[in-house]
């Protein structure tokens, strides 16, 4: 399968069959435009402008909001909170899990609630964890690290952090990556990665993808 990072919390996941799902398309209000992209389906973790710009996705995609099996891709939705006060501050958040080519990918959306044994049990197993690390509106670097330590995925790809062009009051990715041993952190110069189950050889790797530039 292939994972493409379009920026902020937006990823395009493509199975070897060609079926694609795009997660959390964003609005240019964050400071930069979302690249043009098409997909067979779209998921939205919550209805904030930086996660729910469905109109930016081409291809007449199906909107997935709950558990389903879409063209052979198993999708699971887990309801959580956008903050640490039971949703009183920012409402709810949906975590989506996808099983594609035998790989379990978990997109945490704007998870804001603290890590708990109950939630971890609902999410496992996870091969690839897409998790926000910027704080302010989500868990911060330390909170994200706790999720990683409890879930123990093969690969972690951080999202929702301060980068060039982003105007939001959130932290940079280094505050998260600095919490790990340097030998397991890979900072790439590409916006995509192709994965096979054979790539999972034990232990956790942190991979920082470059956001895909606007292609207009």
Return the CATH number of the domain spanning residue range 2-208: 3.60.15.10
Say if residue 157 is exposed, middle or buried (CB neighbours under 10 Å; 0-12, 13-18, 19+).
Answer: buried
> Please, what is the average pLDDT of the chain?
94
Share of the chain above pLDDT 90, in %: 85
Quickly state the pLDDT bin for 216 (edges 50, 70, 90).
very low
Where do the domains of the chain lie? 2-208
CA angle 166, 93, 153 (to 5 degrees): 80
More confident residue, 162 or 87: 162
| 16-31 residue pLDDT tens | 999 999 999 999 999 9
Quickly state the pLDDT bin for 181 (edges 50, 70, 90).
very high
> What per-residue confidence (pLDDT) applies to 109?
96
Flag whether pLDDT at 203 surpasses 70: yes
* Residues 15, 4 contacting (CB under 8 angstroms): no
| 98-124 residue pLDDT tens | 999 999 999 999 999 999 999 999 999
> What per-residue confidence (pLDDT) applies to 214?
67
> What per-residue confidence (pLDDT) applies to 86?
83
CB atoms within 10 A of CB 159: 27
Quickly state the pLDDT bin for 199 (edges 50, 70, 90).
confident
Say if residue 146 is exposed, middle or buried (CB neighbours under 10 Å; 0-12, 13-18, 19+).
Answer: middle
Shortest CA distance to 200 belongs to which of 149, 127, 130, 145? Answer: 127
What is the distance between the alpha carbons of residues 75 and 67, in angstroms, rounded to a whole number? 5
Provide CB contacts within 8 A for 90, sequence distance 6+: 46, 48, 81, 82, 83, 110, 112, 137
* Residues 167, 159 contacting (CB under 8 angstroms): no
CB atoms within 10 A of CB 168: 16
């Amino acid at each position: 399968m292939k994972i493409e990072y379009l920026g902020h919390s937006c990823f395009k996941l493509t199975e070897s069959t060609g079926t694609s799902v795009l997660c959390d398309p964003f609005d240019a209000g964050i400071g930069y435009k979302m690249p043009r992209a098409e997909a067979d389906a779209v998921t939205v973790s919550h209805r904030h402008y930086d996660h729910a710009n469905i109109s930016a996705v081409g291809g007449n995609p199906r909107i997935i909001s709950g558990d389903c099996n879409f063209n052979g891709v198993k999708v699971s939705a887990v309801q959580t909170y956008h903050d640490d006060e039971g949703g009183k501050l920012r409402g709810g958040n949906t975590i989506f899990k996808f099983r594609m080519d035998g790989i379990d990918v978990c997109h945490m959306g704007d998870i804001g609630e603290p890590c708990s044994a109950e939630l971890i049990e609902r999410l496992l197993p996870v091969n690839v964890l897409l998790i926000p690390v910027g704080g302010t509106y989500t868990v911060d670097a330390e909170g994200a690290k706790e999720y990683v330590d409890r879930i123990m995925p093969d690969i972690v790809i951080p999202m929702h952090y301060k980068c060039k062009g982003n105007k939001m009051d959130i932290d940079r990715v280094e505050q998260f990556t600095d919490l790990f041993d340097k030998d397991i952190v890979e900072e790439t110069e590409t916006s995509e990665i192709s994965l096979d189950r054979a790539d999972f050889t034990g232990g956790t790797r942190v991979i920082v993808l470059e956001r895909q530039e606007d292609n207009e």
